[in-house]
Structure formats: C-alpha cells, structure tokens
Amino acid sequence: METRFDRNIRFFGAEGQQLLRQATVAIIGVGGLGTHVVQQLTHLGVGRLIVIDDEDLDETNKNRYVGSYAEDPTTGLMKVEIGNRMAGLIDPSVRVERMPISLLTRAVLSRLESVDYVMGCVDKDGPRLVLTEHCLAFSRPYIDLASDINAKNGAYGGRVCIAQNGDGCLVCMDQLDLKQAREDLENPAQRRAREEIYGIDRKDLDRAGPSVISINGAVASLGVTELLVAVTGIRKPKRLLTYRGHIGGVTVSKDEPRGNCYYCREIYGIGVEADTRRYARD
C-alpha cells in the first residue's frame, strides 16, 4: 500500500484502504458540492470516479468550485473536465471516467446500474427523484447532498440523506417534494401546457440562490464521511444528517422512515422491471 495513505490506514486499516481502492463511485453534478466530493474521494484513494455533468463552467461558479481557476474559460470548459483535472493533479492513479451528458440519458442510467455508490450533488428535486428510484431499483446505495442559504430568514446549511437496502429514502424521510420533482421532469410541451393553465410560479423565474464554498464544503465532507464509513465498515451510515450552519450544529435524525414507502417497498431490487430508463430523453 502506498505510503501516501499511511495516515488513512492508521484510522481504518489497510483492508479499509483496499476497499476504497476497489470502489467505483459516481458523482452526479460536478459543481459547488460535487467538486468538493471529487477532491476528497481522490485524496481518500477511491479507485474509480465517474463524473457526470452536462454543463460548462460559468463565471459565477468560480466563487465556490474547488479546482477552478481565474484563467479558466467560461465557455467550452465542461465541469467534468474540472473534476478530471483536479483528480489527476491529486492522484494520477485514480481512474476518472467522464460523462459530459445529462443524467436523463440511457448511457448514464445504464452506467449507474453497476457502480458501487452514487453521490447526488444536484440542484433540483426532479433529478433527485430519478436517482432515488433508479438506485433503489438496482440496489445501489445513494447518498444525496443538498445545501441551502435562505436569505429571508437567515438560515443556512444543508443535509445528507442516504438511501440503501430499501430502508428509507428521500421520499419517506420527507426530504423531497414530489410535486416539484414531477414539474422538474416535465418535457417542454408538458411545461408549456401547465403554465398556460396555471401560470408561471414566481419561484421558478430564478431558482439560483446564494451559495458559498464553506457551506458546500461542510455538507460535502459530511457526505464523504458517510461514504467512508460505509465502504470501510467503521459503522453503519446515518439515514439523515442535517447541518445548521446558522447555529453551528449537525443533527442526526432519529425519525423512522414513513411506512409503506412505494420506492423502498415496491421499487427496491426489481432492476429493469422498474423501467427507470423511461426518464431518458434521448
């Protein structure tokens, strides 16, 4: 084992380090949360990373994207390339697979069926619902990360929610708005029809809110730590961790998932029968 991982091994042993080296982790969304995740997983020595994002870097991203630089162009530089470049500089032996395409494609959904862990670093509930359903169907542990700053009430922080083994998910832990998720997943014709009937919701006009690197980093670190303990067997990961930065605390939910969850009970483990590829838009 490489001496660079000596301090890791002092914590979780050589066997734990080897388990990390053998793991394949997919990161969906290589942005404010995702770049932190890529950085930390590479330092941990995770053997293969699959970075998935279909967007270019934007100038407004540079306040919080780990691995982005002042001279980086804001047109033509894909976010997956930032993740790939950063991982290569940290540890060239880590294999990085780039998928500069949308989650809602057959190629991505197919690839996620065989990875060891999926980490969602997305902004909307639509993709979160797809990842929840797809990962449960194919029995892939899904770690969902979210951060938020509420300019109205001064609250800020985030949360990490883990779905695995059909024992709780974003839906039955009340961490996902199904109505909003379905609206997020509408095709253009469906969206136009809804807006013609109900009008445009003001909150949809600008869904980009405040975001800073330290809050994203705190949430990403919580998520990576839960993956770390899951892979190495230090302990069972927690279903739901909530970071409340405005009061300086992290809480572990003691709530049990709501019973009779459709996704945990009916979808878990059924694989292709769930027909999650219906979400693909290609």
Kindly report, residue by residue over 95-132, the tens digit of the pLDDT.
Answer: 999 999 999 999 999 999 999 999 999 999 999 999 99
Q: Is the dihedral of CA 268, 139, 142, 50 positive or negative?
A: negative
CATH superfamily of 3-272: NAD(P)-binding Rossmann-like Domain (3.40.50.720)
Does residue 86 surpass a pLDDT of 70? yes
For position 205, what pLDDT does the model report?
44
Q: What is the mean pLDDT of the chain?
A: 94
Domain boundaries, the chain: 3-272
Kindly report, residue by residue over 181-204, the tens digit of the pLDDT.
Answer: 999 998 877 777 656 666 655 455
Q: Is the dihedral of CA 50, 52, 58, 62 positive or negative?
A: negative
- Single-letter code of the amino acid located at 247: I
Q: How many helices (H) and strands (E) does the chain have?
A: 9, 8
Q: Which positions ≥6 away from 225 have C-beta within 8 Å?
A: none
C-alpha dist (Å) from residue 34 to 29, 50, 264: 6, 11, 26
Which residue pairs, CB below 8 angstroms and at least 24 apart, start in 275-280? 276/109, 276/130, 276/133, 276/134, 276/137, 277/106, 277/109, 277/110, 279/104, 279/109, 279/130, 279/134, 279/185, 280/104, 280/105, 280/106, 280/109
Kindly report, residue by residue over 35-63, the tens digit of the pLDDT.
Answer: 999 999 999 999 999 999 999 999 999 99
Kindly report, residue by residue over 204-252, the tens digit of the pLDDT.
Answer: 544 578 999 999 999 999 999 999 999 999 999 999 999 999 999 999 9
Greatest Cα-to-Cα distance within the chain, rounded to the nearest angstrom: 63
Alpha-carbon span 133 to 267, nearest angstrom = 7
Number of Cβ atoms within 10 Å of the Cβ of 5: 19
> What does pTM read for this prediction?
0.94
C-alpha dist (Å) from residue 209 to 121, 146, 219: 16, 13, 17
